[in-house]
Homo-oligomer: A and B are copies of this chain.
Amino acid sequence: MQITQYTDYALRVLIYLGACPERRVTIKEVAETFDISRSHVMKIVNQLVSLGFVEGTRGKGGGLRLNRAPAAIGVGEVVRLMEPGFDLVDCFRAESGCLLSSGCRLKGALHTALQAFLAALDEVTLADLIVNQPRLRNMLGVIALNPSP
């Protein structure tokens, strides 16, 4: 049982942006900081932009910025939208082959558990993740406020 890096990286991007609200951050910078494939971050950012979490501007001096207040970005919301699927088991997906799928109580139990999981994440917002901004910046080795002359 695991969450895709895709989703975790999305949250890392949001955390990074939340830690640097005063400037635009480039995809390259994020990818290098976390040592991730640039392509992967690309895809993630594209989705974050199309979902309205992030604003991306092209061209020289461009980059990424949060498009919502951190307190208005729920972790549960992000996970729900970014994670490719929550088909915990066969029967969650249409055309399941499982003989039991019609009346299986396990199915219901797993569904309930999944809701509990997401509900727990709904209690947390991006703002909760970026308290102590100075420490975050330090961990990330973030560059000075004004990138380069």
Contact = CB atoms under 8 A, between A and B. Distances in A.
Contact of A106 (B11, B99, B114): B11
A88 B3 contact: yes
Q: Is the interface of A mostly helix, strand, loop or mixed?
A: helix
A37 to B, nearest CB: 13
B129 A106 contact: yes
A51 interface: no
A68 interface: no
A: interface residue count bin? 35 or more
A3 B5 CA distance: 16
A98 interface: yes
Interface in A101-142: 102-106, 109-110, 112-121, 123-124, 128-129, 131-132, 135-136, 139-141
A110 B1 CA distance: 12
Interface string A1-41: 11111001001100100000000000000000111000000
Nearest to A135: B103
